[in-house]
Structure 1
């Protein structure tokens, strides 16, 4: 082979070298394009994931903020009236000028001797109006057996005063007779013989306390 042929062979051709450089440049450009596209897809997916997380956080926070401010203080659902029922009035509070002793459960001792008739003993004199027959009165009370002082019932245990009509046969006769005329804000002791309470026969009392009973009653309100 001649010297000229060796200098101008395919391996030494300028056109061939330019083609290789161009092909290399195109390959590099394509590789760069692929990397840019791949990075763009990854960035898009990351942005979607972040947005989803933020939306979830906002929904969670927003759900909590939708509640009324006083919902935490709402009454438990078991005691909330149905939509077609009127809301129960709030439990009456002690009169503003009531004796502070009415805030504390009294200690009730047993009676002495034989109890033959109803006895009403004022312990604290209230300054409110006198209870009238047919009114609804609200009371705190403690009930014990007259002979031994053993407690059988108390509104203080449940923490809920008792409200009921007075003087119309809705409670035992000893209460109907003993609480009418008592002034609001008073604490009275009622010593009630069995016949004005639940009777003296346990077989007929249906599980209620029998015999003479002693109650200490606080009259909180009357209306």
Structure 2
């Protein structure tokens, strides 16, 4: 399965003249056993994604120190201090109360923060609205916190091509932010694409893809 994922990434990159090394695979390991994660680690995988703080902390204690943990679940403001001790990247920043808490953590101890964008305006999903992004850039600037990138999660589609427009829009938003050339808005990470559509996301500029089932198989 891991080999299949790498082949799909190679193919997608080749189509658009990108290097496969420019794409980071986040193996979404929620509900996966320590043993399965160890197997992936032994095959060279270093980036893993978790949705729940308790599960993340447990795994981080049990597994090698050089694993880079990504938190992709809902962030509870009261647990931010704990998250800072084990996650390197937070993909789901979408509330001002979170930013206020993050601003109280020393720069060198603060994970990279991505702004979660509700790219398809879905009522059932978290994330900031597209027309609020400019305002959010100002919030990051005012609090002196780096905006490391964006995370988008379009609707599930039987035909992955249906999500191309959302991925392309996310890339346009990233370019607009980078055009500001503000040191607090590097926005170098574009986290988008999951097991069924990451090929399309890569073609449209994803730097990080979040892959669960296609990587590990069905969850326990």
Q: Per the shorter chain, which TM-score range?
A: under 0.3
Judging by fraction of residues, say which structure has more helix.
Answer: 2
Work out which of the two has the higher radius of gyration on C-alpha atoms and give 1 or 2. Answer: 1
